[in-house]
Amino acid sequence: MSKEPKVKAVKKKQDPVDIVMSVVTYIVYSFFAFVCVYPFYYIFINTISNNDLSARGKVTFIPIDIHFTNYVNVSNIPSLMDAFRISVSRTVIGTILTVFASAFLGYMFTKETMWHRKLWYRLVVATMYFNAGIIPFFITMKNIGLYNSFWVYILPTVVSPFYIVLCKTFVESVPAELTDAAMLDGAGTIKTFTAVIIPVIKPILATVAIFSAVAQWNSFQDTLLLVSDTKLFTLQFTLYQYINQASSLKALVNSSTSAASLAASLAHAATATSIRMTVTIVVVFPILLVYPIFQRYFVKGIMIGAVKG
């Protein structure tokens, strides 16, 4: 490092290198931000614009002839509503069970009196580093009768080693006096867990809840691999099908709508593009909705994870 006098250093605030760098960084990061935001914006404005123009690629930056018929059309597709229900159910049930299991196991694994505690803990944590592979998993699920069952979405993710490690780390930081006092008052293991531990570790539980909710909502591979019953298809899987076969869907939507709307202008009639884009917005919307809340928690989560390695 150069050893120049202090006086000069103070003047260096306007170093030309610094100025050029500032300008370049602002431009580059604006580009990155644009690349990340614009696709969502583009798809959204297309869903509310004139469908005919949209299908011909004429809507790029400003919506034209705003209308909301596409959202009404999409809500009239029965299979999509079923998929929505399945996705919401798996997200709610899966998240509740995963959060409970992570908190409970995180707490129980701090109990040194437990019979062979270390063995069970290692047995759980080891699963972070290996898996049998999708084909043996597929065959096994078939053999135990979970193929085409709703529970195949839930049960495999209930015990998640990473979340357990997160919770355990947090529980260990809870002062022992707190739990000891509860025990002295005659509270058993379960009572201590619900009355003392859960309230204290709430912040980490929020992190776990949000991570597992997003994972459940986004999950696609389990449907692809283990479900062929259309009644159990998730929103993600249905969207995947729609991308590849939106034209047959267009016929479905347009035939199911009443004669009155059939007479409606080309601007509102469903097109392959309009359906594809509208469903995309429907699937991405819940993520956008929870994202701001979410943001507060995930940095915390990733940091604790990083410390633990």
Of 182 and 261, the one with the shorter C-beta distance to other proteins is: 182
Question: Minimum distance from CB of 263 to other proteins (Å)?
Answer: 26
Asked if 167 and 103 touch (Cβ cutoff 8 Å), the reply is yes
**Site map for other proteins, 120-159, x if CB under 8 A?**
x--xx--x-xxxxxxxxxxxx---x----------xx-xx
How many residues lie near other proteins (CB under 8 A)?
98
**Site map for other proteins, 57-96, x if CB under 8 A?**
xx-x------------------------------------
Question: Minimum distance from CB of 43 to other proteins (Å)?
Answer: 5
From 48, 52, 55, 204, residue interacting with other proteins (rule: CB under 8 A): 55
Q: Which of residues 277-296 bind other proteins (CB under 8 A)?
A: 277, 279-280, 283-284, 287-288, 291, 294-295
Dist. CA 92–CA 87, nearest whole Å: 9
Say whether residue 197 binds other proteins (CB under 8 A).
Answer: no
Of 114 and 252, the one with the shorter C-beta distance to other proteins is: 114
Of 155 and 206, the one with the shorter C-beta distance to other proteins is: 155
Both tokens of residue 270? 């469903």
Asked if 98 and 215 touch (Cβ cutoff 8 Å), the reply is no
Q: Which of residues 217-256 bind other proteins (CB under 8 A)?
A: 217-221, 224-225, 236-237, 239-240, 243
Asked if 223 and 233 touch (Cβ cutoff 8 Å), the reply is yes
Q: Which of residues 260-279 bind other proteins (CB under 8 A)?
A: 273, 276-277, 279
Asked if 108 and 124 touch (Cβ cutoff 8 Å), the reply is no
Of 82 and 137, the one with the shorter C-beta distance to other proteins is: 137
From 79, 149, 189, 254, residue interacting with other proteins (rule: CB under 8 A): 189
Dist. CA 283–CA 239, nearest whole Å: 8
Torsion of CA 14, 18, 24, 27, to 10 degrees: -60
Of 153 and 257, the one with the shorter C-beta distance to other proteins is: 153
Asked if 78 and 305 touch (Cβ cutoff 8 Å), the reply is no
Single out the residue of 150, 198, 139, 191 nearest to residue 174, CA to CA: 198
Asked if 86 and 150 touch (Cβ cutoff 8 Å), the reply is yes
Say whether residue 43 binds other proteins (CB under 8 A).
Answer: yes
Of 57 and 175, the one with the shorter C-beta distance to other proteins is: 57
Torsion of CA 229, 232, 236, 237, to 10 degrees: 0
Single out the residue of 278, 202, 198, 296 nearest to residue 242, CA to CA: 278
Of 252 and 272, the one with the shorter C-beta distance to other proteins is: 272
| Alpha helices per DSSP H over 76-116 | 78-108
Q: Which of residues 8-27 bind other proteins (CB under 8 A)?
A: 8-9, 12, 15, 17-18, 21-22, 25-26
Q: Which of residues 98-117 bind other proteins (CB under 8 A)?
A: 101, 104-105, 108-109, 111, 113-117
Residues 6+ apart with CB under 8 A from 265: none
Say whether residue 42 binds other proteins (CB under 8 A).
Answer: yes
